[in-house]
Amino acid sequence: MGRHIWGKTAGALVLAVIVAAVSGCSSSSDEDTAKPAVKAKKPTVSVADATTTFQAAVTKFDTDGGCPEVDPGTCWEQMQALMEPARDLRKAANTHKETGPEFWSEAYALIDTMEGGIAVREDQGYSQLSGTNRPDVLGSAHDLADWLAEHPVA
């Protein structure tokens, strides 16, 4: 019976040491090198600035010639260049006090469609025979630019 209790005690001690090591328990000498627990938030841009940046990205896409190549992988950078300002626009819209989610619902739906196209993680190209994610990203980006022009927010 003594062996049984000793085995449980030893097992509990080993478990405690493992848990302490895994959980990151550290000595006081590690306190100086500890990283802050909370990262500083990136400031959200205003809706007006986010709108301007997004519309400029769509204009740049068009001015640069869009995606003339139909082969897969030839338009991924351009797709990402439109997605980043669309995400910033969504963040700005989420914090905009003067308007609510109902106002932004169509814009949110277009950004969600863009996200769906980007979620494929590649440019699928454009072919009549196969699926493509370009309309989800590029078409929705143009529709969003049009929506923003029709619904100006300062």
Averaging pLDDT over each range in 92-96, 108-112, 124-128, which range is the top one? 108-112
| pLDDT cut 90: percent of the chain above it | 31
Residues 129-154: b if buried by 16+ CB within 10 A, e if exposed = eeebbbebbbebbbbbbeebeeeebe
- Confidence grade of residue 74 (pLDDT, cut at 50, 70, 90): confident
- Confidence grade of residue 58 (pLDDT, cut at 50, 70, 90): very high
Give the residue among 43, 48, 67, 44 at the shortest CA–CA distance from 141: 67
Per-residue confidence (pLDDT) for residue 125, from 0 to 100 = 79
Residue 87 identity (one-letter amino acid): R
**Lowest-confidence region among 14-23, 65-74, 79-88, 103-112:** 14-23
Would the pTM of this model clear 0.85, i.e. be above it?
Answer: no
Name the more confident of 21 and 119.
119
List helix spans (H) across the chain: 2-23, 47-63, 76-95, 101-118, 134, 140-150
Q: Contact at 8 Å (CB) between 93 and 107? A: yes
